[in-house]
Chain A
Amino acid sequence: MNALAARRRHPAAILLLLLLGLVATGGLYSLLAPKPAQAATATADDVNAGKMLFLANCATCHGLHAEGSKDAPSLAGVGAAAVDFQVGTGRMPLAGPGVQAAASKKIMFTDAQIASLAAYVASLSPGPAIPDDQYTKGDGNIAHGNELFKVNCAMCHNFAGSGGALTRGKYAPSLRNVTGTHIYEAMVSGPQSMPVFNDANLSPTDKNDIISYLHELDKNKNPGGMNLGNLGPVSEGMFIWVFGLGLMIGAAVWLGAKAA
Chain B
Amino acid sequence: MEPTGAEGGHPGTALGLDQGHTEGEGGMPERFANPGLPPHVSRSADLGEHAARRAERQVAALFGISMVATVIFLVAYFAIDQNTYRFVPGIGQANLSNIVLGVTLGLSLLCIGLGAVHWAKTLMPDTEVTEARHPQRSSDDARAEAVETIMAGGDATQLARRPLIRYMLGGALGLFALPLGLQVAGSLGPLPHAELSTTFWRKGMRLVRDPELSPIKASDVTIGSVFNVMPEGIDKSHDVLEEKGKAAVLLMRLNPDDIKIAKERDWGHDGIVAYSKICTHVGCPVGLYEQQTHHLLCPCHQSTFDVTEDCKVIFGPAHRPLPQLKITVDAEGYLVADSAFREAVGPSFWERG
- The judgment on whether A and B are partners is yes
Q: Is A156 a contact of B288 with CB atoms below 8 Å? A: yes
Residues of A within 8 A of B210 (CB): 151
Residues of B within 8 A of A193 (CB): 290-293
Selected contact of A156 from candidates B228, B287, B292, B315, CB within 8 Å: B287
Chain B residues 282 to 303 lying within 8 A of chain A, measured CB to CB, are 285, 287-293, 295, 297, 299, 302
CB nearest to B94 among chain A residues: A225
A79 to chain B, nearest CB (A): 12
Chain B residues 52 to 101 lying within 8 A of chain A, measured CB to CB, are 85, 88, 90-95, 98-99
Residues of B within 8 A of A155 (CB): 285, 287-288, 299
Q: Is A164 a contact of B299 with CB atoms below 8 Å? A: yes
Is A258 among interface residues, defined by CB-CB distance under 8 A?
yes
A188 to chain B, nearest CB (A): 10
Is A223 among interface residues, defined by CB-CB distance under 8 A?
yes
Residues of B within 8 A of A148 (CB): 211
Please report the C-alpha to C-alpha distance between residue A27 and residue B221 in the assembled complex, in whole angstroms. 48
Q: Is A167 a contact of B228 with CB atoms below 8 Å? A: no
Residues of A within 8 A of B41 (CB): 258
Q: Is B224 a contact of A190 with CB atoms below 8 Å? A: yes
Contact with A along B214-229 (1 / 0, CB 8 A): 0011011111111110
Selected contact of A224 from candidates B98, B126, B217, B295, CB within 8 Å: B98
Question: Which of A152, A223, A226 has the most chain B CB within a 10 Å cutoff?
Answer: A223
Q: Is B93 a contact of A225 with CB atoms below 8 Å? A: yes
Is B196 among interface residues, defined by CB-CB distance under 8 A?
no
Q: Is A195 a contact of B285 with CB atoms below 8 Å? A: no
A55 to chain B, nearest CB (A): 26
Q: Is B95 a contact of A221 with CB atoms below 8 Å? A: yes
A50 to chain B, nearest CB (A): 25
Please report the C-alpha to C-alpha distance between residue A194 and residue B225 in the assembled complex, in whole angstroms. 9
Selected contact of A198 from candidates B98, B126, B222, B292, CB within 8 Å: B222
Is A18 among interface residues, defined by CB-CB distance under 8 A?
no
Q: Is A166 a contact of B288 with CB atoms below 8 Å? A: yes
Is B280 among interface residues, defined by CB-CB distance under 8 A?
no
CB nearest to B296 among chain A residues: A167
Chain A residues 131 to 172 lying within 8 A of chain B, measured CB to CB, are 147-148, 151-152, 155-156, 164, 166-168, 170, 172
* A-B CB contact pairs (8 Å), 10 listed: A166-B290, A167-B293, A172-B288, A193-B292, A195-B225, A200-B219, A201-B209, A226-B92, A259-B126, A260-B44
Given contacts A193-B292, A198-B220, A226-B90, could you give 7 more A-B pairs where the C-beta distance is less than 8 Å? A166-B297, A196-B222, A197-B225, A200-B217, A221-B93, A226-B94, A260-B43
